Amino acid sequence: MGTTNGIKIIGPEGKVWDVKNNRNQTAGLSQNFIKSIFKDKNGSIWAGTYSGGVNIWDKSNENFVNFTNSEINNNVVTAIVSDENSNLYFGTEGGDVTILNPKKNTIDILNVTNTNEFRPNNIQTMLLSDKSMLWVGVLNYGVYVYDIRTKKIQNNIITDELLEYVQNTGVYAIKEGNDGIYWLGTFGKGLVRYDLKNRSFRVFGKTLGEEPKLSTNIIKTILIDKSGSIWAGGLGGLNFIRFNDEGSYDVSYYFVDEFSGDDIKTIFEDSNHQIWVGTKTIGLQKFNGSTFERVILDQQNPISTIYTIIEDVQGYLWLSCDRGIVKYDTKNKTAVIYDQRDILSTNDFSPNSGLRSAGSRMYFGGAEGVTSFDPEKLVRNTYSLRSSYPIYK
C-alpha cells in the first residue's frame, strides 16, 4: 500500500512492515509520498513518488545482510573467528567481542573489560585455538588469551617476558603452527615465533632479531602455507621465510623497493595451493612460483586495495576491497563487483577480517559492522540502472 508516509507491506497473517525514507541509509525510499506501485513480470516492485523519482525493489536487494551497531557493540569490526558450534565472534575497535549464533539468530557480548586492571581496546586480530582459547591481538596491550568456556583470562598461556615484549605495540596477526608454535605479527617489533611448550620466543625483523633480516618490523598479516613456510607481510613488503630442520632459515623478499615497499594487507592460499596477496596500492597479486603478477579486476577502473580474500565451496575467490566485494573466477579470469548499490553497508572494509562459515555463508568485517551473504544464493541485479534507494523488507 502506497501512502503519503511511505509504503506499508501487509503479510498473510496480518503482520505489517513499514518502508520509509531514511536519510542516514541508502536502503530506503527516496521520498515517503507514494503515488503509484507496480509489479513487473520479474517480480520486481516499482514505486513512483511525488517528487523523489522512481524506486525499485528487486530480489537482488536481499543478497546481503548487514550487522551494524544495532546488533554489534561498536561498529568497526576488525576480526572474525568461529567456534566448533558455528558461533561467530566479531572483534571490534572498541575492544568488545560480539558473539553471533546463526542457528538461533541471537547476539551476545563477550566482555573482557570488566576490571580496572585489564581494559584492552582496539582489537586487530583473533585466533581460536584448542576449541576454547581465544587469542586476541590488540593495540594497547599486545595480546591476551581468553577461555570462552570459563569466561576468564588465561594468565598461564603467555609468558611474562613475551607480554612485556609486545605490551606497548599492536599485535596485528596471530597464526597457529604445528607443535605448539604461534606466530605473532606486531606493529614495530617484528615477527614473533612463540613456542608454547618451551615457553620461549624468537624475533625476526628489519632492525632487530635474528639474521637474515626481514624487510620490515611492521607485520600485519601472516600465512603458514602447505609446506609450513611462513609468509609475513606488512608496511614495507612481503617476506617468504623457509626454515630447515636445524632451525636456520632464509628469506625471499617481494614488493620491496629502495624507499619503503608496498603495504601488504592480506595473504591467502587457495585450495589449489595458489598464493594470493592483497595490497594497499597495487591490488590483487598472484604468485607464479618466482614472482608476483597483478590481477586486473576492472580494466576501466582498476581496484587498488584488497583487504581480505576468502574462497567459496565452488573455488571462486571473494575479495573485500576499496570498491566493495568482488567475486573472482580464477579459471576464466573474470570478476563481478558488488558495491553499496547492491545494499552493502559500506565499501570500507578491515584487513584480514572475514571468513567462510561451516556452510557456504561469507562474513566480511568493516567500518559499518559485518556484511554477510551466501554466494550460492546471490541474485544479480538485471536492471541497467540500479536504484540508489532500493525498497526492501
pTM of the predicted model as reported, rounded to 2 decimal places: 0.83
Question: What is the arithmetic mean of pLDDT over 367-386?
Answer: 76
Same domain as 328, residue 290? yes
Residue 103 confidence (pLDDT):
86
Same domain as 359, residue 250? yes
Question: pLDDT at residue 62 above 60?
Answer: yes
Around Cβ 267, how many Cβ atoms within 10 Å? 26
Question: pLDDT at residue 25 above 60?
Answer: no
Of the listed ranges 51-65, 146-160, 319-333, the one predicted with least confidence? 51-65
Q: Which residue range(s) make up the domain with 129?
A: 63-377
Same domain as 115, residue 90? yes
CATH code assigned at 211: 2.130.10.10
Q: At CB < 8 A and 24+ separation, what contacts does 146-154 make?
A: 146/110, 146/112, 148/83, 148/89, 148/110, 151/110, 153/112, 153/118
Query: How far is it, in rounded angstroms, from Cα 195 to Cα 25?
Result: 48
Domains held by the chain: number: 2
Same domain as 74, residue 21? no
Same domain as 150, residue 15? no
**Residues 107 and 74 sit within 8 Å (Cβ to Cβ):** no
Cell numbers at residue 355, please? 571468513
Same domain as 68, residue 50? no
Which pLDDT band, with edges at 50, 70 and 90, does 393 fall under? very low
Residues 6+ apart with CB under 8 A from 351: 220, 221, 265, 266, 278, 307, 308
Higher-scoring residue by pLDDT: 114, 90? 90
Question: Where does a domain end: 13, 40, 57?
Answer: 57
Of the listed ranges 168-177, 205-214, 337-346, 382-391, the one predicted with least confidence? 382-391
Same domain as 79, residue 38? no
Asked if residue 123 is part of any domain, the answer here is: yes
Same domain as 82, residue 34? no
Same domain as 141, residue 272? yes
Asked if residue 389 is part of any domain, the answer here is: no
Query: How far is it, in rounded angstroms, from Cα 265 to Cα 280?
Result: 6
DSSP 8-state symbol, 351? E
Which pLDDT band, with edges at 50, 70 and 90, does 28 fall under? confident
Which pLDDT band, with edges at 50, 70 and 90, does 254 fall under? very high
Same domain as 45, residue 167? no
Asked if residue 384 is part of any domain, the answer here is: no
Asked if residue 178 is part of any domain, the answer here is: yes
Please provide the size of the chain in residues: 393
Residue 213 confidence (pLDDT):
96
Residue 272 confidence (pLDDT):
97
pLDDT tens profile 263-293: 999 999 999 999 999 999 999 999 999 999 9
Question: pLDDT at residue 262 above 90?
Answer: no
